[in-house]
Amino acid sequence: MKRRTALKIVGLGAIVPAEWAAVAQDQALAWSPKDYQLRFFTKDENLLLDKLTEMIIPADQHSSGAHAAKVSLFADLMVATSNDAVKTEWRNGLRLMQEVAARSSIEAALAKAAEHEGSPQTGLERFFKTLKEMTVNGYYTSAIGIHQDLQYQGNTYLASFPGCTMPNIAKED
Amino acid sequence: MQEFDVCIVGSGAAGGTMAKELCEGGAKVILLEAGVEVHPSQLLSHKWPYELPYRGLRAEKQAPFYPKDISAVWYKNSDKVGVDRVRVLGGRTMHWNAVCLRYAPQDFRERSLHGIEEDWPLSYEDLAPYYDRIEQIIGVCGLDDHLEILPAGRHYMPPIPWRCSEHILQRTTRKMGIPLIAVRKALNTRPYDGRPPCHYCGHCMDGCDVSAIFSSPDCMLPKARATGNFTLRQNAVAREILADREGRARAVSFVDRRTKQEEQVKAKIIVVCCATVESARLLLNSRSPQHPAGVGNSSGVVGRYLHGHLGVGLNVYLKELEGVKPFNQDGATDSVYIPRYNQLFGKSDYAGGWGIQMNFASYMFPHAALDLPGYGPSFKERVRKMQPGFLFFGSFGKVLARPENYVSVDRARVDDYGIPIPVVHFRFGENDRALTRAMEQSMLEIGSRLKGTVFPHFGAGPGGFASHEVGTIRMGNNPKTSALNGFCQSHDVKNLFVTDGSCFTTTSEKNPTLTIMALSMRAADYIKRKRKIGEL
């Protein structure tokens, strides 16, 4: 925690109920991709991660992909605030990916990592599961994932809920 | 020190009901609550994931309900269960999906009908008038489906309209002989009791910011307050119930979270409504020469018979809805419910059954993306096209009440206030495992008959309790094998009552909150009668 953040929380202590301290702390950690500074990954690691996440969820004609959604920065925040085991998994996983890519290409490395997705055997294959889960979580909780890609229509105030509006389905009952 | 007629500990479904009823009956009531009010403006329900520090993936929306300083619990040699202890004003009514199901007559008679567990010391007929009254007070939407396994009320608001996926589901369940009904929820589908109707944001479980869902602070406590007989004390962490020389309860000692000072409140009657784990903890922590094993625990039953619900999930993505233009399907989370049905298909080799709640999840996040193999453009397109067909099954199954599953306290482990924390000891039994297997198999069968892609989310074994834990201070006719009589009154200490889920003798597959409120109301009536004739 940054010192300034800690002071802010201590300062609020007198007026904020105890149970809000944790939330206040989390809010203080909130980040904006615009000014986000890497906390865990190196610049090279972030570059590699950015490419990998974009390959997992790429831009297409319908919507932008993981790069535009800044999924690698989301991953950095999540890993930076996790325990040492998680940090080690990511550092080693990206190193493995880089090693395989150096011998072939990044495309081949990702394909190799994803080869046995259902039952991963190697460290590289196990890392793919972690990488993909982070990419999915980061992308589909971003504004791009929710609004542009899925075109999610909820989280709003409705005067009434119409239920099924597809007459060919509703009428069969 | 001022003496109150009644001191209630805990402000959730049971405590709120008790406070309203007794205050309206003329009693001077003080209610002690360990937590504080979470004002609607403090709820994060409508925040987008990208507005939250960790996108909501670290339960940021729920954080206000679980203050860390009073939430410690130790799972010792325990299977995969979670005990849900919302520690704010209103308890779990602030963080619930509001499904309100009556127990059926047979649910009170497990020993007589099936030779398992124990019968309750009361019948459905005893409780039915209180189900009627409580449903009227809290407001429940739904329909009378004329099902023996799920008795209906007489005062329902109109049901929530069904989604397309649920109409499609009904075609399949109908062919299988499985009932599918409108869900019954304490949710306003029209203005009710001065509260507005639902605005269908799909965030029931994150806290309702307009009080369209019933909660104790929005519905019960204002009615108690209006009588002029009600005193609320927040930040009051109960340490123990103090007894007089005759062993009667005389006061509750508590710690003020803000000042850390020890205080006492004196009352003629004490009603414990802290929920299953906390209530057992409080009674077990209340040791005295008169009650060496904890107040109301001469039987040794207090803390034992911890049980709750099994939970199993399965996602289906319906082919018929694949690729349709996205539309708002969130509604009020559940619209339909599959009541217990295994009893319709002959005798099984296990006891109990399950019900299935449908779609109590938002459509915002595409869970299929975590289940589908692959990556790249085709993966992304497939996730997008499948999402409108999302259909979520969440089943709740009965767990048997067994004495070897229990809550204890450990004097060596204390919370921030020096109060011994609860210790949970729980192992699933063979019947629980058999029921889980049957439940999973049946859900897979329904899923496989639907045209679509099925993703079961089954664990390696049973898991619980789905926030529905009960049974640690159970009712019964025999004081040697139960702690409370049929009116939730301690066998040992006549001016001590426990009316939350811990008083359940057994659980059914149904969500317990409506029954908790009906039992609390019945106990309140009993207290009022006894006070009137000077017996309490």
3-state secondary structure of B529: helix
Q: pLDDT at residue A18 above 50?
A: no
Q: Cβ distance B307 to B133 under 8 Å?
A: no
φ, ψ dihedrals at B96, nearest 5°: -150, 165
Q: In this structure, what token pair is assigned to residue B344?
A: 């319709």
Which among B37, B44, B54 is the top mutation candidate for probing chain A, defined by the most A β-carbons within 10 Å of its own β-carbon?
Answer: B54
Is the pLDDT reported for residue A11 higher than 90? no
| CA-based nearest distance A138→chain B, Å | 8
Taking an 8 Å cut-off on Cβ atoms, the answer to whether A161 and B202 are in contact is no
Mean pLDDT confidence for B268-273: 98
The nearest alpha carbon in chain A to B171 belongs to: A173
Peptide bond into B465 cis (omega under 30): yes
When pLDDT is averaged across residues B248-265 and rounded to a whole number, the result is: 97
Q: Which residues pair with B474 in a beta bridge?
A: none
pLDDT in tens, B114-151: 999 999 999 999 999 999 999 999 999 999 999 999 99
Work out the average pLDDT over B421-442: 97
Q: State yes or no: pLDDT of A23 exceeds 60.
A: no
C-alpha B385/C-alpha B369 separation (Å) is 11
**Stronger pLDDT, A28 or A60, i.e. the higher one:** A60
**Do the Cβ atoms of B67 and A18 come within 8 Å?**
yes
Looking at chain A, which residue has its C-alpha nearest residue B53?
A30
DSSP per-residue string spanning A133-152:
HHHHHHHHTSHIIIIIIS--
Query: Phi and psi (nearest 5°) for B496?
Result: -120, 130
Local confidence band at A32 (pLDDT 50, 70, 90 cut-offs): low
Check: CB of residue B188 under 8 Å from CB of residue B141.
yes
What pLDDT score was predicted for residue B504? 98
Model pLDDT for residues A142-164, shown as the tens digit of each residue? 999 999 999 999 999 999 999 99
Query: What average pLDDT does chain B have?
Result: 96
Q: By the CB < 8 Å criterion, does B366 face chain A?
A: yes
Q: What is the pLDDT at residue A173?
A: 54
Confirm whether pTM is higher than 0.80. yes
Predicted pLDDT of residue B2: 84
Q: Cβ of B167 and A110 within 8 Å?
A: no
Best of A144, A164, A166 to substitute, by most chain B Cβ atoms within 10 angstroms, is A164
Report whether pLDDT(A13) > 50. Answer: no
Which chain A residues contact residue B331 at CB under 8 A? 161, 163
- What pLDDT does residue B181 have? 98
- CA distance linking residue A173 with residue A151, whole number of Å: 29
Question: What ipTM does this complex have?
Answer: 0.93
Residue B432's pLDDT is 97
**Cβ <8 Å between B55 and A114:** no
Q: Do A19 and B67 touch (CB under 8 A)?
A: yes
Residues from chain A that touch B164, judged by Cβ atoms under 8 A, are 164-166, 169-170
Q: Kindly state the DSSP code that residue B41 receives in the 8-state scheme.
A: G
Chain A contact present for B417, CB below 8 A: no
Residue A31 above 70 pLDDT?
no
Q: Is B162 in CB contact (< 8 Å) with chain A?
A: yes
**Between chains, do A58 and B377 touch, taking CB under 8 Å as contact?**
yes
Task: Give me the residue from A56, A78, A169 closest to B168, CB to CB.
Answer: A169
Main-chain phi, psi angles of B394, to 5 degrees? -130, 110
d(CA B482, CA B226): 37
Residue ranges with strand state E in B319-429: 336-338, 354-358, 390-398, 406-414, 420-425
pLDDT score, position B176: 97
| SS3 of residue B141 by DSSP | strand
**Other C-beta atoms within 10 Å of B63: how many?**
18
pLDDT value at residue A21: 39
Q: Residue A157: what pLDDT? A: 93
Q: Mean per-residue pLDDT for B76-91?
A: 92
Q: From CA B404, how far away is CA B407, in angstroms rounded? A: 10
**Lowest-confidence pick of A57-71, A136-150, B56-70, B176-190:** B56-70
Mean pLDDT of B173-195: 97
H/E element, B230? strand B230-233
B351 CB neighbour count, 10 Å cutoff: 16
Place B80 in a pLDDT band, splitting at 50, 70 and 90. Answer: confident
User: What is the Cβ-side half-sphere exposure of residue B355, based on CA atoms within 13 angstroms?
Assistant: 26
Cβ of B161 and A132 within 8 Å?
Answer: no
Partner-chain contact B328 A173, CB within 8 Å: no
B49 touches chain A (CB under 8 A): yes
Residue A2: pLDDT above 50?
A: no
pLDDT value, residue A6: 32
Considering chain A, what percentage of its residues have pLDDT values greater than 70? Answer: 79
Q: How confident is the model at residue A16 (pLDDT cuts 50, 70, 90)?
A: very low
Higher pLDDT, B389 or B53: B389
B88–A19 C-beta distance less than 8 A:
yes
Q: Which of B224, B227, B211 is nearest to B139 (CA)?
A: B211
Kindly report, residue by residue over B277-332, the tens digit of the pLDDT. Answer: 999 999 999 999 999 999 999 999 999 999 999 999 999 999 999 999 999 999 99
How far CA A127 is from CA of A7, A77, A94, B161, B490, in Å, comes to 38, 18, 8, 44, 56
Distance from CA of B321 to the nearest CA of A (A): 10
